[in-house]
Amino acid sequence: MHMMLWGISYRTASISQRQRLAWTESEQAFVLRALKQSEGIDEALILSTCNRTEFYLIGANPEQVRQTLHQLLQGYLGGGLDAAVFYHQQGLAVAQHLYHVACGLDSLLKGESHILHQIKASFGLALQQKSSGKILNQLFRQAIQAAKSVRAFWQSQGKVPSLEQQVKLAIQTHCNLTQSLNILLIGAGKINTRIARCLTRNANCRLTFVNRTDAKAALLAEQLQQHWLPWKKRWTGLTQADVVIACTDAGHILVRPADVISPVSAKPRLFLDLAVPRNLDPALAQAPHTLYFDVDAINALQQSSPLTRSLLQKSEALLNTALADFSQWYQSLDYHQTMQKLAAELKHVHQDVLQQMQASPEQLQEMTHILTRRTMRIMSQHLKTCHQ
């Protein structure tokens, strides 16, 4: 059996392409059942997050599995699926990829833990739908355990990465938190909500939310006892803001230099663009009194720390140990399957011997030589298969 992965992420696909695979739980369940019932697919699990959708599949024929997945997705989505945006892994490379994803080492912010909750949810759905089996269950259980070990290690060092903490650090580094700060948050999704909850712990931060759906901005402001503006009045918020944090799924630029450069707005400001693709024009960095950071720059700030680099290296070492354990288990499957096939073949040989028991001594001697060669050939073929 082969272990395979096909997926798209923020690294390979635009937000419009990712949104086509951003399914609800009921939609994921439907696709899981369809995959499991497809010929050639023995196990299936879909990992779905805001930044990636990945299909973990087990089957005997990789090409057949690929064609089945492609045809199913084309049919479900109504065509127009660009195969070029998908990445592919096979064998133990699948495990290596998942372990890195589970530990947050493949995330926009290295080491963030939110991805682990999403992996647990996806694994739980596959168990519920009975689409995963022996191999994927073992893979995901061990990946989750490895991620917990890495997480515990970071906690023991007193440094737990999170996007909200990195945003707060960027603000502390470049702004004066002893004075009142007006912070405009463009977008009212999960990421900005987490950031807002973190920032509200500082009494000097006055938060204002704007969102294309005004009701979402109003609800979040009410929950956090902060402020909001209608979308059409967002330019007022830009004029007043000391810090602008943007994270929406708009998929295009929302704020350009022309929107913020004016005599009224000539004051130091910090722009943090957390969206992929960007919501803030990188040209804002050229505006007077302005600092601009996108996700890559924020991530670079995190990794520039010698302590963080050391923690990442040690995390990789922990992962390699965990991967070695899974690798040993996974490779043992080939051995057991080979021995089962060998036993079945030798049973046929045994039956042939019984059928020849009435033959003459000369015939039995010749048959013994033939069966010996046949047995050796069968064993050789299966051992080669196991080794491969």
- Write the DSSP string, 285-321: GGSTTEEEEEHHHHHHHHHTSHHHHHHHHHHHHHHHH
Looking only at the bridges linking them, the beta strands covering 205-210 and 87-90 are: unpaired
Same domain, 155 and 171: no
pLDDT of residue 343: 62
Q: Is residue 24 part of a domain?
A: yes
Domain end position, chosen among 116, 132, 159: 159
Q: The pTM is what? A: 0.71
Same domain, 12 and 154: yes
CATH number (domain holding residue 20) = 3.30.460.30
Same domain, 183 and 233: yes
Domain end position, chosen among 113, 137, 159: 159
Q: Tokens at residue 111, please?
A: 């080491």
Same domain, 186 and 47: no
CATH number (domain holding residue 278) = 3.40.50.720
Tracing tokens 């495990």 back to the chain, one arrives at 95
Contact call for residues 182 and 242 (beta carbons, < 8 A): yes
**DSSP letter (8 states) at residue 91:** T
Query: Cα dihedral sign for 143, 122, 245, 16?
Result: positive
Residue 71 host element (H or E): helix 62-77
Contact call for residues 186 and 234 (beta carbons, < 8 A): yes
Same domain, 94 and 197: no
Residue 233 host element (H or E): none
Q: How far apart are CA 171 and CA 181, in angstroms?
A: 10
Same domain, 288 and 355: no
**C-alpha neighbours within 13 Å on the C-beta side of residue 17:** 19
Residue/partner pairs of 26-34 with CB below 8 Å, 24 or more apart: 28/122, 28/125, 29/125, 29/128, 29/129, 31/72, 31/76, 32/125, 32/126, 32/129, 32/131, 33/129, 33/131, 34/72, 34/76
Q: How far apart are CA 238 and CA 98, in angstroms?
A: 40
pLDDT of residue 14: 78
Cβ count within 10 A of residue 80: 8
Q: Which domain holds residue 361?
A: 338-387
Weakly modelled stretches of the chain, pLDDT under 70 = 159-161, 177-178, 261-266, 302-305, 307, 334-365, 367-369, 371, 376, 378-388
C-alpha dihedral over 160, 163, 169, 172, to 10 degrees? -140
Q: Tokens at residue 328, please?
A: 């040993």
Contact call for residues 185 and 211 (beta carbons, < 8 A): no
Contact call for residues 165 and 158 (beta carbons, < 8 A): no
Contact call for residues 14 and 22 (beta carbons, < 8 A): no
- Model confidence over 356-368: pLDDT tens digits? 656 566 666 676 6
pLDDT of residue 213: 96
Same domain, 150 and 174: no
Same domain, 120 and 233: no
- Spatial CA neighbour of 59 closest among 117, 131, 114: 131
Same domain, 234 and 343: no
Instruction: Name the 3-class secondary structure at 180.
Output: coil
Tracing tokens 């007043």 back to the chain, one arrives at 240
pLDDT of residue 331: 85
Question: What is the count of structural domains for the chain?
Answer: 3
